Structure 1
Amino acid sequence: MLLYPTKRVISVNPPKFGKGEEQDFHSFLNFCGNFTSNLNVPLLYKAFQFNTKANKDLQRKSGEPFYTHPLEVACFLVENVIYNDELIASALLHDVLGQNNLYSINDIESEFGKEIAKIVESVYRITNLERQEIANIEYFRRLLIALTTDVRIIFIKIADRYIDMKTISYLSPETQRKFAEDTFQVYIPLAHRLGLYNIKSELEDMAFRVLDRDNYNRIVRKLKMTKHERDEYLRKFSAPIIEMLQNFPLLKENDIYFEVHGRVKHIYSIYNKTLLRGKPVEELYDLIGIRIILDTEDETICEKVVNEIKKIYPFIPETYKDYIRNPKPNGYKSIHCAFVGEGNQKVEVQVRTFKMHLIAEKGVAAHYRYKSGQISIDSIFEDEKIEKWIQKIRDLLSQGQEVPDSMLFEGFDYEIFSDEIYVLTPKQEMVILPKDSTVLDFAYYIHTELGHRCAGVKVNGKTCSIFTKLNNGDIVEIIQGSNLEPEFHWLDKVVTRKAKNAINEFFTQKAQEYFKSGKQFFDKIINEQSLSQQRVSIINSIIRHLKYTNPREFFIELGKSQELKEAIEFFVIFLKENNFKFNEKSLKNNPLLKKLEEFIEKKAHFNPEGYTIIMSECCLPAKGDEVEAFLLGKTIIVHRKDCPKVKLYYVDLGAAKVNFDWEKINQENFEIGIKFHSPSFLFVFNLLAQALSSRNDVAIKSWQKQEVSPNRFYWIFYFDAKDVSFINVIRNLIEVNDYDVKFERIGRKSAYQ
């Protein structure tokens, strides 16, 4: 519902067809004209004539003329995907074959060419398969054969299914159920993969209404407000926000156009959230809301608009989600938050730019529309992932009947969603995560607190580690503990932004709490001893003698350690009694400084026994490297000294730095990653052959070739080694033999960055 401006310049609502063939075609052309001025009218009219002749005197179950269905499919594609002559002509022809036996595929090819004929034939074959009772493996095999010839086939079938679902009530209950099941199994995942997010949500609602009418109706009843009441509420809620935006200097000075839309959460999405969050419908905060869309490239203005709304309505802090700073894996960007409106009603507010909105609503095709206006659908084929998926499946199918069922099914299940996995809750609710996600990523996806307190897990009924990587179809049950907290090394295990951000935020807040506690304790001692004037010099003395980098590090450790608190208290008293004179001999001679001496000794000769030692995957340190080691809880994280994450661990998260001695580590072998740059693998092979031929303490675990540019490659090797001494051998061989090879140390998570 558009709340502001009250009138749009152009209406793009699809026309109502069934008013006569000529009038319907002109309405269709007018609709397409809202999206492009480059219509191939002769081609479209010829396709429309084929459609009307093939479907002459035929009616749909709803009583509408059959020729109107292809028009509706074509309009859907123009509005939700992109205008392209071949795509839209194929949509108009997609129901021609087989109708009244009037036209054959040869007729289509002779009149429209091979490209359009191939698309039409594939759509026809898929439609025939949908009408058959076929076991799942066979169903997906035949579906794949048809789907993998052209991406436009997928677009037409999604559009065809969407229009069919809109009139599903005219079909028999059995047919309705099959349509809805197929929609969930095939077309909703396809719509999501191709970025048709709004259509995906609408298909979910329509299919859910058929498959679980009771729960669908239950949620509809729970929504309480009628459409009229809801619209009126959103108009009143948005009125002061619209007034603010109209007078907001930042928008006025930069002449930034804006729109405000009312929105209601989709039924199936509400159903999922009641299950995943374990809350009744009434407690969800995002059932109704408004969306503010700004015509600007400056993404920072979105947050400034949110800050202005906070001056109008009570803000609910825990609902704030910044997907602009932390986009979703599929590229979605927006700010989400909620406010309390009249009658204590929670209302979600989303703020985004027009570019963000277009991509959120239209997906893949929107990238191209936004960049350069209306262009050829060929640009969509430039999506590398789609090209690779199509080629891989085509290669599988070209192997003929010998290809096993599982391989074809895997091709469908994996390749099209190669950057995502689909896993299930114990209640069979689907959760979509990036590839390589762990159980911990799943737990944090469900809820931050569930991630923090993840004690164990069952995957497909079997007990597993919380770091287990998940696969498509896994059923995941999280076991929650009561007094658990995240551990530092989890950061190296999780892959999703949400999990990493949640863990980082936990330790950042913890560090801030320790800093505040330590500073308060120190200031209390200073005040008790009446030493406010000497506060800075005392801090500098402590930092110097205890070898801290800065006051923040000292205060954080002071907040954590009761032992250090006692030592510092005695130290301050000693300084006061001795007129602030202090030297190393004082440690040996004064009982007041005994605890400080013990603390310094313990810090200098840290004993790692009893601690979990983690060699960080981001840099893969090994024996012989210069390292920085950090202690948090009972975990020691070791990084190479030149690792960029050192600042993250050392400063931002408040981890204590400890002295680390390789000789005190029992670990015998270490994983070492090296990236070699060279125009020829022969150079790399000769180099490694010479370096490793006489060594028994180094073994190659794995290697992989990557092309950087034409005639330039790099090779990633992972070794098992006793220490890093063999790296010096490699370096010397390169210098002596003048090999055209360069190399650098890498970690597991930095190899392809």
Structure 2
Amino acid sequence: MLRQYELVERVMAYDPEADEAMLNRAYVYTVQKHGTQKRASGDPYFSHPVEVAGLMTELRLDQETIITALLHDTVEDTLATIEEVERLFGPDVAKLVDGVTKLSKIEAMSEKERAAENLRKFLLAMSEDIRVLLVKLADRLHNMRTLHYIKSAEKRARIARETMEIYAPLAERVGMYEYMREMQLLAFEQLEPEAYATITGRLAQIRSSEGGQVDSIALSIKQALAEAGLKVEVSGREKHPFSIWKKMAERHVSFEQITDIMAFRVLTEEVPDCYKALGVLHTTWQMIPGRFKDYVSTPKSNGYRSLHTSLIFENSMRMEVQIRSHGMHQTNEFGLAAHWAYKSHERPDGQVGWLRDLIEIVDASHDAEELLEHTRMAIYQDRIFAFTPKGQLLQLPKGSTPVDFAYAVHSDLGNWAVGAKINGRHMPLRTALNNGDVVEIIKSRKASPQLPWLGFVVTGKARAAIRRAVRAKEREELAAIGRKLFEDIVERMPSKIGKKAVKDACKRLGLGSESELMAAIGSAKLDDRQVMEALVPGSAAHLPEPDRWPGQERAISIRGLTPGVGFHLAECCHPVPGDRIVGIRVPDRGVEVHSIDCLTLASGVDADWLDLSWGERTSGALGRLRMVLYNRPGTLAEAAGIFAGNRANIASLENSSRDELFSSYEVDLEVADLAHLTRIVSALRASDAVAEAERI
């Protein structure tokens, strides 16, 4: 453990203007407050905040951060208060300590609700001052170093899992790779002890049997670069055990099949020397195609810069080489902390711009599960680079689509997207983007996000925005259905209803507005009796039962509402415009539309029934057919020709059975109405290629 004078000397060595008296006072304060408290290791508890402060000095952080590290557990674990900390050490330190204290509560609650609510606090605290995160990462790293002293295996596993899922990825996102690697290694040892022992054992065997091969290769690389006039430092190491295990799991390969276990790092004097060194290595040894990455010209979002390549050395041995300048290396290992000059309180916005996206996600998320899903997407995924037509560079997770790209540019652009050009070619919105793609979003201010987009977008920001827009559209359309039902209820009231009665009804029902009332009616949260009683108390006494459908004055039109949002077309009967339809209204699920002769309705569904109509100028629906084709070449093509000739698009096609003579298919067609579907069935039955055709 660092002694008081040692800690102060460390700070004064890189910051001679630091307040020595305040540093001494903070050290004494934490020792006094923690008193006789002990850690699981048996050490005095105050040894932990002192070691965390020591980690902060290694990053050459300012005195406020060092003092925060010393005090970070006092408010949570002792009788100290934020007010006392502010009086003794100032408002900035108090704010930082309060932020770290809130983050510490992540460990105190249980599972999704706990993690989501505290992740929310975590992100907000980080957005206000990133030093909160730096102290918390150092706190977690030291706790992981002493994790083996905790007797409970279950508690060790929980802390290790939390470290792997939250803290290590956050360390990576701010570029603190040294912290990330050590956290992953310590957590990996707890979570997968057998795999950890196997991989570290194999690495030890390689180390003992290779006879200095790593040093020999490093020397060969250095000599080749020296002959080209480059002054460099070269070091070699085995890949990180967790990295090897992850690669084995992702590629489903054994340890022996991992060909690039050795990795080498080349440190140059200047940035241009990186590219010169790359040219020397590629002309001296064969490079492996597809394994070169240039993070110098296009840095990662956390500021990481380096050239990565893989070479085939002698005896066909593969090796990974990273080339960077000394300045890049300092930034790469300690990331955002390396940028934090001890006298500068300016946040390097280029490195933590992703925090702004996280705060948007916090605001947009509907519940705990969504918040966790969206945030983990934003934090944990590997990145690709894509460009706007004007050359702006955007970093996105692997697998991102033009919709993700649009939301990354601006939320409005995502909401208005109707199409995309990738490298000048029109492509579907679900197309996965590749590194270097130039993406142009085609927009329309009349467009809105579509529910099916959730099936292919990968960024948390896009998912949160789409869900928010779809929920708003759903509320709007449920309110539209509710208003039609409300009008029907009002017609059955014994007296006329004015606006004041509606306003009073909202108050009686605890609803904030008339639109909320209509949405509650549309989503079956209120039945006729409740609405009547709210409008005019005592007016529902004459109703024998709350069953509305038989007494409905007129059919309710679903014209203008969006399938899948305002209502859902039942998959059991696939109603199309022209069918006689009824609706089943289930609380919080909207209206499900069935054809009147649907067998599901005969099974006695317990829900409100509505008399519905399609209305005029319907927008079409999916009709489902079963067709049996003769099993010979060209019959399926002929059936497809019939669909095309009748201007019907195939939504899905499934081969349900096949034998020597016949092939049976189920096909969903986009049709205008019942008459359109009937014409298609008739055309199929008239074809020599079709044995049977019927609607199902």
Whole-angstrom distance in 2 between the partners of 1:231 and 1:30: 42
Question: Match of 2:157?
Answer: 177
Return the letter of the residue paired with 2:366. Answer: S
Question: Match of 2:486?
Answer: none
Deviations 1:10-41 (A, max 9, x none): xxxxxxx26xxxxx123223434564444332
Picking from 77, 85, 95, the partner of 1:108 is 85
Whole-angstrom distance in 2 between the partners of 1:26 and 1:180: 33
Matched, 1:376 2:322: no
Matched, 1:339 2:317: no
Change (3 A) 1:123 1:304: closer
Deviations 1:439-495 (A, max 9, x none): xx999959xxxx9xxxxxxxxxxxxxx9886999xxxxxxxxxxxxx9976699757
Matched, 1:498 2:413: no
Offset at residue 83 of structure 1 (A): 0.8
Return the letter of the residue paired with 1:85. Answer: Q
Offset at residue 63 of structure 1 (A): 3.0
Task: Return 5+ residue gaps in structure 2 as ranges.
Answer: 389-393, 408-422, 445-696
Question: Match of 2:30?
Answer: 51
Question: Match of 2:193?
Answer: 213
In the TM superposition, 1:435-446 aligns within 5 A as none
Change (3 A) 1:309 1:617: closer
Matched, 1:200 2:180: yes
Question: Match of 2:580?
Answer: none
Question: Match of 1:406?
Answer: 366
Whole-angstrom distance in 1 between the partners of 2:376 and 2:387: 12
Whole-angstrom distance in 2 between the partners of 1:497 and 1:34: 47
Matched, 1:357 2:329: yes
Question: Match of 1:60?
Answer: 39
Count of aligned pairs: 420
Picking from 263, 274, 283, the partner of 2:237 is 263
Offset at residue 222 of structure 1 (A): 3.6
Whole-angstrom distance in 1 between the partners of 2:228 and 2:70: 47
Question: Match of 2:269?
Answer: 295
**Contact 2:336 / 2:348 at 8 angstroms: preserved in 1?**
yes
Question: Match of 1:655?
Answer: none
Deviates more, 1:43-52 or 1:334-343: 334-343
Question: Match of 2:75?
Answer: 97
Q: Secondary structure at the match of 2:43?
A: coil
Return the letter of the residue paired with 1:259. Answer: E
Return the letter of the residue paired with 2:113. Answer: I
**Contact 1:323 / 1:333 at 8 angstroms: preserved in 2?**
yes
In the TM superposition, 1:663-674 aligns within 5 A as none
Picking from 281, 289, 292, the partner of 2:255 is 281
Q: Secondary structure at the match of 2:366?
A: helix
Change (3 A) 1:336 1:384: closer
Return the letter of the residue paired with 2:435. Answer: K
Return the letter of the residue paired with 1:86. Answer: E
Offset at residue 336 of structure 1 (A): 1.9
In the TM superposition, 1:20-169 aligns within 5 A as 24-33=3-12, 35-80=14-59, 83-97=61-75, 99=77, 101=79, 103-132=80-109, 134-145=110-121, 148-149=124-125, 150-169=129-148
Whole-angstrom distance in 1 between the partners of 2:440 and 2:93: 51
Return the letter of the residue paired with 2:344. Answer: S
Change (3 A) 1:206 1:293: same
The percent of aligned pairs where both chains have the same amino acid is 25
Change (3 A) 1:353 1:619: farther
Change (3 A) 1:343 1:55: farther
Change (3 A) 1:361 1:123: same
Deviations 1:620-677 (A, max 9, x none): 99xxxxxxxxxxxxxxxxxxxxxxxxxxxxxxxxxxxxxxxxxxxxxxxxxxxxxxxx
**Contact 2:382 / 2:397 at 8 angstroms: preserved in 1?**
no
**Contact 1:241 / 1:312 at 8 angstroms: preserved in 2?**
no
Whole-angstrom distance in 2 between the partners of 1:435 and 1:318: 18
Whole-angstrom distance in 1 between the partners of 2:157 and 2:243: 20
Return the letter of the residue paired with 1:188. Answer: A
Change (3 A) 1:121 1:321: closer
Matched, 1:305 2:277: yes
Whole-angstrom distance in 1 between the partners of 2:295 and 2:253: 24
Offset at residue 179 of structure 1 (A): 0.2
Whole-angstrom distance in 2 between the partners of 1:491 and 1:243: 51
In the TM superposition, 1:365-514 aligns within 5 A as 365-366=337-338, 368=339, 374-380=342-348, 385=353, 388=356, 406-407=366-367, 410=370, 414=374, 420=378, 496-498=433-435, 500=437
Change (3 A) 1:199 1:231: farther
Q: Secondary structure at the match of 2:292?
A: strand
**Contact 1:329 / 1:434 at 8 angstroms: preserved in 2?**
no
Question: Match of 2:572?
Answer: none
Matched, 1:190 2:158: no
Return the letter of the residue paired with 2:259. Answer: Y
Offset at residue 137 of structure 1 (A): 1.9
Offset at residue 112 of structure 1 (A): 0.9
Q: Secondary structure at the match of 1:148?
A: helix
**Contact 1:240 / 1:312 at 8 angstroms: preserved in 2?**
no
**Contact 1:122 / 1:147 at 8 angstroms: preserved in 2?**
no
In the TM superposition, 1:450-599 aligns within 5 A as 496-498=433-435, 500=437
Return the letter of the residue paired with 1:324. Answer: V
**Contact 1:147 / 1:154 at 8 angstroms: preserved in 2?**
no
Offset at residue 48 of structure 1 (A): 0.5
**Contact 2:85 / 2:94 at 8 angstroms: preserved in 1?**
yes
**Contact 1:62 / 1:170 at 8 angstroms: preserved in 2?**
yes
Change (3 A) 1:231 1:329: farther
Change (3 A) 1:390 1:320: closer
The Cα RMSD (Å) is 4.4
Task: Return 5+ residue gaps in structure 1 as ranges.
Answer: 1-16, 19-23, 252-256, 397-403, 423-429, 452-465, 473-485, 502-615, 622-753
**Contact 1:421 / 1:434 at 8 angstroms: preserved in 2?**
no
Whole-angstrom distance in 2 between the partners of 1:99 and 1:329: 36
**Contact 1:326 / 1:497 at 8 angstroms: preserved in 2?**
no
Question: Match of 1:598?
Answer: none
